[in-house]
Structure 1
Amino acid sequence: MLTSVPEELRTPEALAEQTEETSSALDERKNAKLAAEKAATEARERAIIASEEHKAATTALTECIERRKQAEDSFISRLKKANLTHDEFVRLKPAIESIEDVRETIEEYRRNLKNAEDSAKTKAGEIHDLVRPDLKEIGSKQDQAQANLNEATDERAAAQQGLTHLTELRDELAETLSMLEEEEKTSGPLRGLAALTNGDNPYKLDLETFAIGTMFDQVLEAANLRLGPMTSNRYQLERDIDGGGRGRRGLGIQVFDLHTGKTRPTSTLSGGETFIAALALALGLADIVECSSGKVRLDTIFIDEGFGSLDTENGAGTLDQVLNVLNTLVSQNRSVGLISHVPLVQEAVPNGFYVQKSIGGSSVETRNAL
């Protein structure tokens, strides 16, 4: 049985390897056969499509030849009707593009000619009954016109002399203006500086307002040191640079609200908040005045009312914060006089007196020092 089997295939391993190679080769041939059959099918389909397109193209070509033949016959017939040969048509062909312009020119000429003829007939009718003018009278008028011309010539000479004088004056003025322009260029920096100090700048601020604004910034900074503790650091006073109105630009005040993160006008503050802001400004102004001039001392401050507008949440509230700030001032060798009808304020003042009203008049009652 093994004699018919080649030497290289007598082992199971060699036989399996050969079988696998044969199977792979068979699969490749099958795939190649399928690809060839598919390509042949596609080629037959393309051949059919190409044949149909060739037939359609042949039919279209035949139709085009027929239409061309008909067009040539029609063209030759139209040339015969126009009594033109083919060579004459070729020679006149460049003029076809301008034929409409020529036709329009001819039509315009005919219209102008018709209008001129009508106008000539009208004028002839108008002068039919007129009498020839008197030449002697015309000559007399011509002499008078000549005299007027001579007089106008004399006036023109006088005017020319005046013009010469004015021209000389103009040249002198031009020289003077040139000198003025040179002076303006020289004094330009000084005039620019003067304009800036007078408010001719992007901020519309004069020098005085700028200086006041700089001092005002210091006052606001000092006032905010007082306003913060009295408002639990909610409000900060800021200078309204863009503010307008009848006052000086840049000297307005606006309030920055930490709760909203935005600035708003001071008119939106409540009565108590307005009092606190005014008190902080007064204290800030006093601090700046003392710092700016060592010879000026504001040892005593009087505050008349305003405490009634402060809230007394939990028995004290904003009123307590304001009084703490005032106590701090007293501890800094400064006297503060308070005039108030609020009992909590009266209790907070260590030394003072009462003013009692009666029918006979007012009396002063001294309080004992604490």
Structure 2
Amino acid sequence: AAAEEGFTSPDAASASYLDDEDQAPLRERIRGFEAVEAVVRAELANRAVAGAASRPAPDLESLTAAVERAEAARTAAASAVSRAGQRLSRVTVLGGELAGAVAAWRPAAEAHAVAERMAGLTSGRSPANRHAMSLSAYVLAARLERVVAAANERLARMSGGRYALRHTVDRAAGDRSRSGGGLGLRVVDAWTGSDRDPATLSGGESFITSLSLALGLADVVTAEAGGTEVNTLFVDEGFGTLDDETLDEVMAVLDALRDGGRAVGVVSHVAELRTRIPAQLRVAKSRTGSTVRVVV
């Protein structure tokens, strides 16, 4: 019987005998093993576990590599989060500094906006300036209106009542500046009942128009200078473009200025004027140079 239980002899079986006190811990361990066995058997009876057990064994190397990659990605993400937090802190600081700078800049910006609007208005470049006229042109236009009124008195006489000047805020002929002008002139033709661009006038007509404006300007300057008169006027050339009738009218106007106490100097190559002008300075040129002779 001892041999059936795994003992080599009855003495060996007798030596292995344990009393109840010594057997108690062993029984407790047996019960523990039995409980674990029951749990394991129940787990093995689970279909999911049974199905997993039936599948091929997992590739631990691949799974380990995947875990390492996931860990590296997690580390990189954590680093990115840390850098983003630092940048957020920096941006928050810069945002506060920017808000302070904007608050300090705003009064200057508002003042600049006012100055820029005024600059646009005075330069004639602002859409709010309906005539696109600069401030200087506006001031000069007021003067020009007075000059035109004074010039028309003489132009009417020199043109036989045909022409009169009219001030316009349109761009003057030949004006290529960016501003709209305000110093434009039109010539009103009483014979045709229409107005014309001064550029369409003939040479003689342009001369008497220019002379009228010059004399009108002298009258306005005299009036605005507190009575200080422009006592000397020089008219350089242009007489050769006039017909006899117009020349007579022009000389009559100049004679009237002279009779009024002004000295009028006429520079011309027209021989006919020698008989009309009593006091003359004649310039003669030669190989040795030019000479001046007074003729009274």
**TM-score bin (small chain):** 0.5 to 0.7
Report the Cα distance in structure 2 between the residues aligned to 1:135 and 1:291, rounded to whole angstroms: 112
Identify unmatched segments of 5+ residues in structure 2. 1-57
Change (3 A) 1:267 1:291: same
Matched, 1:233 2:161: yes
Q: Is the CA contact 2:239–2:270 (under 8 Å) kept in the aligned structure 1?
A: yes
Identical amino acids, percent of aligned pairs: 35
Report the alpha carbon displacement of residue 134 of structure 1 after superposing the two structures with TM: 5.3
Matched, 1:158 2:83: yes
Q: Is the CA contact 2:187–2:195 (under 8 Å) kept in the aligned structure 1?
A: yes
Aligned to 1:366: 295
Aligned to 1:219: 147
Change (3 A) 1:257 1:149: farther
RMSD: 3.2
Change (3 A) 1:257 1:274: same
Aligned to 1:71: none
Report the alpha carbon displacement of residue 215 of structure 1 after superposing the two structures with TM: 2.3
Report the Cα distance in structure 1 between the residues aligned to 2:95 and 2:142, rounded to whole angstroms: 51
Of 98, 115, 118 in structure 2, the residue corresponding to residue 193 of structure 1 is: 118
Report the Cα distance in structure 2 between the residues aligned to 1:186 and 1:339, rounded to whole angstroms: 55
Higher relative contact order (CA 8 A, sep 6+): 2
Report the Cα distance in structure 2 between the residues aligned to 1:189 and 1:265, rounded to whole angstroms: 38
Aligned to 1:345: 273
Q: Is the CA contact 1:356–1:365 (under 8 Å) kept in the aligned structure 2?
A: no
Matched, 1:293 2:225: yes
Change (3 A) 1:264 1:137: farther
Amino acid at match of 1:329: L
Change (3 A) 1:159 1:349: same
Report the alpha carbon displacement of residue 173 of structure 1 after superposing the two structures with TM: 1.9
What does residue range 71-90 of structure 1 map to in structure 2 within 5 Å? none
Could you say what secondary structure the match of 1:250 adopts?
coil
Change (3 A) 1:190 1:340: closer
Change (3 A) 1:355 1:140: closer
Provide TM-score, normalisation by structure 1. Answer: 0.53
Report the alpha carbon displacement of residue 329 of structure 1 after superposing the two structures with TM: 0.9
Change (3 A) 1:135 1:301: same
Change (3 A) 1:230 1:138: farther
Could you say what secondary structure the match of 1:308 adopts?
helix
Report the Cα distance in structure 2 between the residues aligned to 1:197 and 1:355, rounded to whole angstroms: 49
Report the Cα distance in structure 1 between the residues aligned to 2:251 and 2:263, rounded to whole angstroms: 13
Change (3 A) 1:363 1:336: closer
What does residue range 46-125 of structure 1 map to in structure 2 within 5 Å? none
Change (3 A) 1:174 1:334: same
Amino acid at match of 2:295: T
Aligned to 1:308: 240
Q: Is the CA contact 1:355–1:365 (under 8 Å) kept in the aligned structure 2?
A: no
Deviations 1:219-275 (A, max 9, x none): 222222221211123222334523141486333443233333433322211110111
Report the Cα distance in structure 2 between the residues aligned to 1:148 and 1:171, rounded to whole angstroms: 34
Change (3 A) 1:343 1:198: closer
Report the alpha carbon displacement of residue 306 of structure 1 after superposing the two structures with TM: 1.3
Of 318, 329, 332 in structure 1, the residue corresponding to residue 260 of structure 2 is: 332
Could you say what secondary structure the match of 1:290 adopts?
helix
Report the Cα distance in structure 2 between the residues aligned to 1:366 and 1:170, rounded to whole angstroms: 88
Aligned length: 231
Q: Is the CA contact 2:279–2:294 (under 8 Å) kept in the aligned structure 1?
A: no
Matched, 1:147 2:76: no
Identify unmatched segments of 5+ residues in structure 1. 1-132
Report the alpha carbon displacement of residue 196 of structure 1 after superposing the two structures with TM: 2.4
Report the alpha carbon displacement of residue 344 of structure 1 after superposing the two structures with TM: 4.1
Report the Cα distance in structure 2 between the residues aligned to 1:232 and 1:226, rounded to whole angstroms: 10
Aligned to 1:321: 249
Report the alpha carbon displacement of residue 290 of structure 1 after superposing the two structures with TM: 1.6
Q: Is the CA contact 1:257–1:263 (under 8 Å) kept in the aligned structure 2?
A: yes
